[in-house]
Amino acid sequence: MRADGAPEGLRQSMSWLHTWAGLVVGWLLYAVFLMGTLSYVQSEITLWMKPELHRSVADEGTLTRAVRRMEALASGARSWTIGLPGGRETAVRVFWREPDTPQGRAATQRALLDAGTGEVLEARETQGAGFFYRFHFQLYGMPWIWGRWIVSIATMIMLIAIVSGVITHKKIFKDFFTFRRGKGQRSWLDAHNATGVFALPFHLMITYSGLLLFMNLLMPWGVDFAYRGDRDTYFAEASGRLTSGAAGTRQAGAGTAARVEGGRGGGGFHGDRDDGNSHVATVPLEPLIARVTALWKADGIDSVSINGRGTPEATVEFRRRGGGSLVDRGASDLLIFSAVTGELQPPPQTPPLTAARATYNVLTSLHLGRVAGPTMRWLLFLSGLAGTLMVATGVVLWVVKRAPDRRRLGRTPLGHRLVEVLNVAAVAGLPVAIAAYFFLNRLVPAGLADRADWEVRGFFIAWLLCFIHPLFRSYRQAWVEQLWAGAMLLALLPLLNALTGGSSLFSALVSGPRAVAAFDLVALAAGALLALGALRTSRHSMGARKEMRRHSVPSEARPA
């Protein structure tokens, strides 16, 4: 109801809903958006955080060297996986599993190999960008079920805020081309509208697809009813693991576990020699490698595997780099040969792809950035930043809009003060904590026990300090100081990288790895943006203090 007793219109109701829905979960959504945006480049971030891998350079002989190293490293293993480096990685990732024992199933082991020499690389222990990814969807450190439920509820509210925001701003697309600089509340509203409209399709997609990813957590009743509580069968059918024939058995067998562990296609890789542990000799691998390389010349091989080494059913599997689509990974992206005869085998049989499953695959693949090339990945990254800024400008706008009320009261109400503190700590403090995480990655001794946990602890300690700091400073002072802290820390990351064993920015630009150069350049750009924000906030604060002093002096006391 309006003040005159008349009922509110739809837009007024939507405005109220948009304001409060956005504020209640705004700080959490800001963190989820920023962490999710960083997850689009998690391979690049993790590479930067392992300087021991920066000087590994792949060439045409990388796969052959990796095979020879595996023959010495895991000659008795029944399952090998070799994942070749690409544009986002530099080292060869290998996984293997020794034969099972009467005591139980053998654990999967892993190592990193220098792509140029085949030598084992000892990279520092770190969670890398995997920490950001897990924080994004389940709030790292919380019990996973509670973290996912909290993020899911916040995502639902985000969807409500987006829809209500579109209804509220009837001139939202016109306002996208309008930005009034230095106009206080109007400027913040223009910035909020621009960042919201710039990537509005992305915001709708990322929010709705995020709920789809949690579909079985949020609405499990249909599956439970149709499958009588047997969710394992549902997930097996949905993912195509329930197949027929020998190929299906291979896909659901030991190789699948190694593929899941390694995050790549293929379950293992065996050498081409009979070392006494094998009962059936395998064909030489070089002709198969040459054949597949010639066939996939444009894309290249992403991973190679052998399942069941030493048995008549042993197979060699090749998976193409960049294969698959938003709808599904096609059979043309996987080649399977008999390791005994060298003959090409039929691909695994999977259930027909339904329209519902195809729609689900497209939306969730977009959310995860699956099969995204460099250009699309940058677009997703920039759209994620736009979403992050949209949330940030929204929570700041809430404070700016209520500034006249606080001036009339002559004080800041407790609720408003709480919002101010949370705004500073969430929006400006999170980049400080992220930069501290990167600093600890290089400053914590590489051989320290549980060093990866200390990196994460340092992140949360830094962020906690950012929550405490604005309690003892004015709103604008806290903004300026935390923005400057984040700017300086981020701007120093390229220097830190060069001084602690990583490839320098100049070296990475000239000879690679380009992913490390991209990280350093983005860090410099982010630092510059934070510094610009600190300067503008500081100047605005000085201007506001001068204006207050001018109005506080009686007119008769002012100079003529």
Owning domain of residue 253: 57-124+244-350
Question: Contact at 8 Å (CB) between 211 and 152?
Answer: yes
pLDDT band at 298 (very low <50, low <70, confident <90, very high): confident
- Report the pLDDT averaged over residues 105-124: 89
For the segment 74-113, what is each residue's pLDDT rounded down to a tens digit?
Answer: 877 777 889 999 878 899 999 988 777 666 677 788 899 9
Structure tokens, 478: 């806290």
pLDDT above 90: residue 73: no
513 Rama class: left (phi>0) / alpha (psi -120 to 50) / beta: beta
Amino acid at 417: R
Question: Contact at 8 Å (CB) between 16 and 363?
Answer: no
- Residue 293, Cβ density class (10 Å: 0-12 exposed, 13-18 middle, ≥19 buried): middle
Structure tokens, 234: 């549902």
Evaluate whether residue 200 is within a structural domain.
no
- Report the pLDDT averaged over residues 389-409: 85
Q: Note the pLDDT of residue 440.
A: 97
pLDDT above 70: residue 465: yes
- Report the pLDDT averaged over residues 495-502: 94
Evaluate whether residue 300 is within a structural domain.
yes
Domain count, the chain: 1
Find the farthest-apart pair of alpha carbons in the chain and give their distance in angstroms, rounded.
105
The strands making up 301-307's β-sheet, listed across from edge to edge, are 120-121, 108-113, 92-97, 79-83, 301-307, 315-320, 334-338, 344-345
% of the chain with per-residue pLDDT over 70: 81
- Report residue 337: phi and psi, to 5°: -115, 150
pLDDT above 60: residue 120: yes
The H-assigned helical ranges of 328-373 are: 355-368
Q: Note the pLDDT of residue 399.
A: 86
Question: Contact at 8 Å (CB) between 128 and 46?
Answer: yes
Alpha carbon distances (Å) from 440 to 351, 378, 485, 488, 530: 48, 27, 16, 15, 21
The H-assigned helical ranges of 214-320 are: 215-218, 221-226, 231-239, 245-252, 254-262, 286-295
- Report the pLDDT averaged over residues 148-162: 92
pLDDT band at 515 (very low <50, low <70, confident <90, very high): very high
Cα(first)–Cα(last) distance of the chain, in Å? 51
Evaluate whether residue 96 is within a structural domain.
yes
Q: Which residues does 390 contact at the CB level (< 8 Å), separation at least 6?
A: 192, 195, 196, 203
Chain centroid offset of residue 177 CA: 30
pLDDT above 60: residue 226: yes
Evaluate whether residue 548 is within a structural domain.
no
pLDDT above 90: residue 152: yes
Which range of 103-117, 198-212, 260-274, 545-559 scores highest in mean pLDDT? It is: 198-212
CA distance 102 to 313: 23
pLDDT band at 183 (very low <50, low <70, confident <90, very high): low
Evaluate whether residue 539 is within a structural domain.
no
pLDDT above 90: residue 500: yes
CA distance 86 to 322: 10
Q: Hey, which residues does 112 pair with through a beta bridge? A: 93, 121
For the segment 44-59, what is each residue's pLDDT rounded down to a tens digit?
Answer: 999 999 999 999 998 8
Evaluate whether residue 87 is within a structural domain.
yes
Q: Of 307, 314, 315, which is closest to residue 335 (Cα–Cα)?
A: 315
What's the predicted TM-score (pTM) here?
0.84
CA distance 336 to 80: 15
pLDDT band at 453 (very low <50, low <70, confident <90, very high): very high
% of the chain with per-residue pLDDT over 90: 40
Within 10 Å of residue 436's Cβ, how many Cβ atoms? 23
Question: Contact at 8 Å (CB) between 113 and 121?
Answer: yes
* Helix (H/G/I), strand (E/B), else coil: 233: helix
Q: Note the pLDDT of residue 173.
A: 63
**Higher per-residue pLDDT: 431 or 245:** 431
Evaluate whether residue 341 is within a structural domain.
yes
For the segment 240-284, what is each residue's pLDDT rounded down to a tens digit?
Answer: 554 443 334 333 333 333 333 333 333 333 344 444 444 566 777
For the segment 518-535, what is each residue's pLDDT rounded down to a tens digit?
Answer: 999 999 999 999 999 999
Sign of torsion over alpha carbons 483, 494, 46, 386: positive
Radius of gyration, CA atoms only, the chain = 28
Helix (H) or strand (E) holding 334: strand 334-338
Alpha carbon distances (Å) from 547 to 407, 410, 411, 490, 550: 13, 16, 18, 34, 5
- Report the pLDDT averaged over residues 338-362: 81
Which range of 271-275, 302-306, 463-467, 553-557 scores highest in mean pLDDT? It is: 463-467
For the segment 256-268, what is each residue's pLDDT rounded down to a tens digit?
Answer: 333 333 333 333 3
Evaluate whether residue 468 is within a structural domain.
no
pLDDT above 90: residue 492: yes
Q: Note the pLDDT of residue 88.
A: 86
Q: What single-letter DSSP state applies at residue 470? A: G
